[in-house]
Copies of this chain bind each other. A is one copy, B any other.
Amino acid sequence: MQTLKVKKDSVVKSVAGAIAGECRKEGECEIIAIGPAAVNQAVKAIATARGFAVQDGYDFTAIPTFTEVEVENEKKSAIKFSVKKI
């Protein structure tokens, strides 16, 4: 499964396109975001991707989980969204 990393300066429409494309192909993807601004971009991207998906006759659910990721040898807490086509 594809894991998309979203940053605070990620472009919402680009991430949304990646989510929609991945879910169309594979049925699901994961999104990792560290920090409030990145989490916000991720949520906006999921909401935007739903707009793309509706045109193709499907929708997404997103399930958020706490996780840890290693960035430059440092453990950081992050949010992982499991996005699934429905």
Interface residues of A (CB under 8 A from B): 35-37, 39-40, 43-44, 46-48, 50, 59-66, 79
Contacts and interface: CB of A to CB of B under 8 A. Distances in A.
A44 B80 CA distance: 11
Q: How many monomers of this protein are in the complex?
A: 2
Nearest to A46: B64
Nearest to A51: B66
Nearest to A48: B66
A63 B62 contact: yes
10 contacts: A35-B40, A43-B43, A43-B64, A44-B66, A47-B64, A47-B65, A50-B65, A61-B62, A61-B63, A62-B62
A23 to B, nearest CB: 13
